[in-house]
Amino acid sequence: MKFNSYLKESSLSRILTHIKGNNNFGVILFFRKEIPDKENEDNYKELVSIVRSMGYGFIPLKGGYIGDEGFFAEKSLFIPNIKRKEIIDLGIKYNQFSVIHKNDNNFALIGTNKAAGVGKILDTFKTDGKGIDVDDVGDMFKDFFSSLLKEFHRNKKFLFRMDEKIETSMYYEKKHGAKWKNIFMENDELDFHKLSKFMNEASEEQMSLYRQYIKEQKPKEFKNLVESIND
């Protein structure tokens, strides 16, 4: 991962404290492809206002994939302390497919419309925050966004990046739009010499995994495999 010192102070570290701690939190992605961008934007602003009125703080994030048409990003809110029912209700109100919520029982992707099954646990994430550090948060969010975007991006596996919203004055935002800063970019680089060494020294079992990861398009596992022989 390419992180700089800024990140240690960024939302990633704030998010990490929630993931590692015992507090509830929720993530709601905001996107409905069947409605115009303007309406999506208005609904997003309304959602922000509702979350504020519920007395919660939040971290606005934008995550998605860099593909043929540039950065395809969706906005989301990371909401510390929100109760499960509350975030499910927000997901229902804005007709989202699913939301993410962590409480004492589990850390799960939960359906919020008919197609997904309202309240149905669709997937679960690792609940034990021990051993997670700030460098893992980007990857965790990749999993979150992949789950939340599954409905829209079937079989698309491009590079993942995540931005956080930078607070500006209302005047600035009205004139120039919201300001976002990249805080996580999936590192896709593969060192040719490491790959070469791997190809020369890999066992049959490792070569079998090499082919499997290519077939299944698993870049992270693939890189770890290649680098395991170079360690």
Based on the shown chain and the rule CB under 8 A, indicate whether residue 224 belongs to the binding site for other proteins.
no
Binding other proteins (rule: CB under 8 A), the pick from 8, 45, 157, 181 is 157
User: Smallest gap, in angstroms, from Cβ of residue 99 to other proteins?
Assistant: 29
Strand partners of residue 76: 29, 61
SS3 label, residue 224: helix
Binding other proteins (rule: CB under 8 A), the pick from 14, 158, 180, 185 is 158
Q: H-helix or E-strand containing 179? A: strand 179-185
Nearer of residues 34 and 189 to other proteins, judged by Cβ: 189
Contacts of 97 (CB under 8 A, 6+ apart): 111, 112, 113, 115, 116, 148, 150, 151
Tokens of 46: 């309304």
Based on the shown chain and the rule CB under 8 A, indicate whether residue 223 belongs to the binding site for other proteins.
yes
Nearer of residues 35 and 214 to other proteins, judged by Cβ: 214
CB 62 within 8 A of CB 76: yes
Select from 119-127, 144-152, 177-185, 195-203 the region that touches other proteins (CB under 8 A): 195-203
Nearer of residues 80 and 219 to other proteins, judged by Cβ: 219
Binding other proteins (rule: CB under 8 A), the pick from 114, 177, 192, 203 is 192
Q: Is the dihedral of CA 8, 83, 142, 206 positive or negative?
A: positive
Binding other proteins (rule: CB under 8 A), the pick from 34, 37, 68, 205 is 68
CB atoms near residue 73 (< 10 Å):
18
Binding site for other proteins (CB under 8 A): 66-68, 157-159, 188-193, 195-196, 199-200, 214, 217, 219, 222-223
